[in-house]
Chain A
């Protein structure tokens, strides 16, 4: 993944979604109105976050068996990059909620659980900072991460579905199916997700490369 083609692909896709997402046609729906276009910008943040956290849990498991410092650094930096996208997802969701649900934060199950799942990963970073010994830190935080990941999945995708939520796809809500089935929206939504995932992965690689140089200089 040291090549540049995927970075350019990600950039092109993100710029494409900014243009096509604002100019192409969307379904006419009451309450949502033009804010339906937020689907192209709000949802990909969460997809990018989930992909980055999946990378993190993968390297956490790997670091437990390999005991390699590099795997541990990869796990931290992908969480660091993923949290940015999680926070952006929360803020954009709150703004969208203000104009469709009436309040920035209506203590909707989806909002609450999404906030808790971001906090889970803050706890991961705090846990790491609390341990000075490197081997111990790598092991304990890797195990924490392995537990945090399924918790995040449950908080985002299972628990909100069991409660009444205003968020599409949860509770008594019919979900985004009716919009997703719209082929015009799919043409922007899928490239948007792929584009932001690639940008997120890029940010993670930059963070990891910086960290490995810092690490090398500390050891010298």
Chain B
């Protein structure tokens, strides 16, 4: 135990890097998922083709391959060296954004058709329909899968240590080489990742409750504060990957 307490500042430094990568990746993934997800529900073949291409390409390539490509191939092609952290954020963001786009598309399509028909009857513009009627309902449905995806993204950032970013994994590996205390060095890293994941899970559950309350629904798990402690739902389709 002393071993870990002594080196806690180092670990926290690594954890801070991981948190930054996760936050950046989540922001990028969210924007991409929303944009390409909504694009995929537009009529006409062109927007749909663009959305499908993005999803299939970035879902099909492993985040690590993407990261290697950006860290090593891109500088040769463009002559511009990306910062390791930036390359990592881009890679995980593009990758998870592709999964998210499918979730957004599915959730929007799952909103009952009558809702769309009602907005047409009320002469709403497409933008009003999306903002006021469709997205608030789809949002509540997206959130549980988004929660799983955010954990996948956080885990994917660990890969960045292979391109030289000093995140939790890199700290653990350095610690192991310096001291030979394999079990302790890696237990510390695993526990930190586990804690960050718990924070993410808790945050998404809070968002879920708010989204459901706005729609006048009782959130899954009940109204009380205890509802937040219910075991996380994992969709059978494994939305995550």
A and B form one complex: no
Using CB atoms and an 8 Å cutoff, list the residues of chain B in contact with chain A.
none
